[in-house]
Structure formats: C-alpha cells, structure tokens
Amino acid sequence: MQITTLASGSQGNATLVATDEGTFLVDAGLGADELELRLAVVGVVPKRLAGIVLTHRHKDHVRGTRDLALRHKLPIWCTKRTAKGLGTECRKRLRLLPAQGHVPLALRTTLRTMRLPHDAPDTIALVFESNGVRYGHVTDLGHVPDGLAALLAGCHGLWLEFNHDRALLLDGGDPPHLKRRIAGREGHLDNDAAAALLADVVARRPASLRHLWIGHLSARNNREDLALAAARVALGDEAAHVQLWIASQDVPGEPTSLRAATDVGTH
C-alpha cells in the first residue's frame, strides 16, 4: 500500500491511498483543477483513479468532488448523509458507505468505517486493509469516541488530525464562537487529545505502526514543532520505529510505502 498526501488543512484536504488493486483519493477538498495539478505532480492520471472516498461533507473535504468525478467518471464512496451535500448530478456515481461497518472496495481491499463526533452528519474514520496491510485515516473529530483506538490498533500507517494547540487557540485572535466550535465536543482534535489517542493505539498493538501523518494542522492555532513533540512523547519507545510526516497544505508529500510490520526492530 502506498500513501501520498496531496493537501491538508482548513483550505482543503486530499490524500492518495494506492493498493495493488487501485488508487483511491481520500477527500477531494481542493478545486478540481488544483487536484489535477497535484495529481500530475505525483504522476497519477485522474481517470485511472479507482474512486473518491469522502470522510464528510465539509467544503475542505469535498470541494472538487463533483467536478473531478463527473470529468473522469469516477465512483464516489461516501455515507448517505455526506452524499446529500454533493448535488444530484453525482447520484449515478455514488457507492454508499455505512457510517459504521465495512465494505469491500475491491477483491482484496476492505474499507472499515466508524462514526466520528464532528459537526457534519456521519463524519467517518476510515481504515483501509489490503493484503495484510492496514492504513487508518482519522480527521475532523471533536473528541475521541469509544472504540476508535481499538479500530486503529495494528495499523501500519496512520493519518491523524492534530488540529490545534489548546493554549494557542484560546489565546489567539479567532472570534469566541469560532473558538467554541473548534474546541467543542464536535469540533477538532487538539494536540494533547490526538497524542492520547496515539498512545492508546500503540499500547494496544506495539511494533505495528511505522508511519504517522500529522494532519489538518491549523495555520493560526498550531505549530509543527508542538504537534511533533506531542506525537513523539505519545509514541515513547515506539518513536524510534515510526516515521513522522507533516501533511502540508501547499505541497504534495512523498509517496510512502506501507508494509506489514514483520521487521520489528529495523526500519
């Protein structure tokens, strides 16, 4: 399995998940033209995508979905309530996902979903499984729900929202209603809460996780060094075996291969 981030942050999110059965675009939160440019940078032809998989209906996750799907005749995998935000032209392209459950995406590729607490209906966490490799993609959640750490345990790669530093958010210049929304139970995950989830995940299944993407960083209310430090502390002894990546808003990341972690102790 190969993971490539194309964009992450409040201006738009998109990540490629490639298995040997096809390449899926997780969220299409930039305009379609910009998505096509970034796909070209990483050598992916849009019409060869196996489909678009959406986490939820907020603009920074769906902005280019309609145009990209219609231009290139791509399937769109999402929950029924996310589909409501896409417009009727997309109806023929829809493949519905359960908010909680699992579906086959291809012969040997399965997608597991779990509902997340966020202020868009049926926001979901995604876990891709293919040929014994697991990749978890978790973004836009106000707090960590029961069962999420268990779902993510054993993932070889994990993309996790480290949205804000609580002190920076509270001391910052955002209007009070926005601060309340971001910090609320259905808002976004702060560094400490993301780190606590990460610690729980690696404690349940040590020696599986090899790559961690730190995503959806707030440009105003977070700093890369704070998020990285929180992640490192959470990983503890595991940190030596986990490559940390910051998912950038502006430039695609390096395509990164995930393997089942049979090589404990090496990198």
Q: Which of 1, 26, 39, 58 binds Zn ion (CB under 5 A)?
A: 58
- Determine the size of the site formed for Zn ion (CB under 5 A): 3
d(CA 138, CA 189): 10
Q: Which of 129, 140, 161, 238 binds Zn ion (CB under 5 A)?
A: 140
Pick the closer one to Zn ion by CB: 118 or 134: 118
Pick the closer one to Zn ion by CB: 177 or 267: 177
* Choices 62-70, 92-100, 132-140, 178-186; region in contact with Zn ion by CB under 5 A: 132-140
Smallest gap from Cβ 135 to Zn ion, in A, equals 19
Name, in order, each residue with C-beta under 8 angstroms of 136's C-beta and a sequence gap of 6 or more: 125, 126, 127, 151, 152, 155, 157, 158, 159, 160
Smallest gap from Cβ 40 to Zn ion, in A, equals 24
What is the widest separation between alpha-carbon atoms in the chain?
51
Residue window 170-209: x/- pattern of binding to Zn ion, with contact defined by CB under 5 A: ----------------------------------------
Pick the closer one to Zn ion by CB: 130 or 139: 139
CB 165: neighbour CB atoms within 10 A? 21
Amino acid at site 100: Q
E strands, the chain, are 2-7, 14-19, 22-26, 51-53, 76-78, 94-96, 101-106, 109-116, 123-130, 133-138, 157-161, 211-215, 243-246, 256-257
d(CA 55, CA 26): 7
Pick the closer one to Zn ion by CB: 36 or 140: 140
State which H helix or E strand residue 82 sits in. Answer: helix 80-83
Residue 251 structure tokens: 């430039």
Smallest gap from Cβ 56 to Zn ion, in A, equals 6
Instruction: Decide: is 129 part of the binding site for Zn ion (CB under 5 A).
Output: no
Q: DSSP class of residue 42? A: T
Instruction: Decide: is 60 part of the binding site for Zn ion (CB under 5 A).
Output: yes
* Choices 14-22, 139-147, 161-169, 231-239; region in contact with Zn ion by CB under 5 A: 139-147
Pick the closer one to Zn ion by CB: 208 or 218: 218
Binding site for Zn ion (CB under 5 A): 58, 60, 140
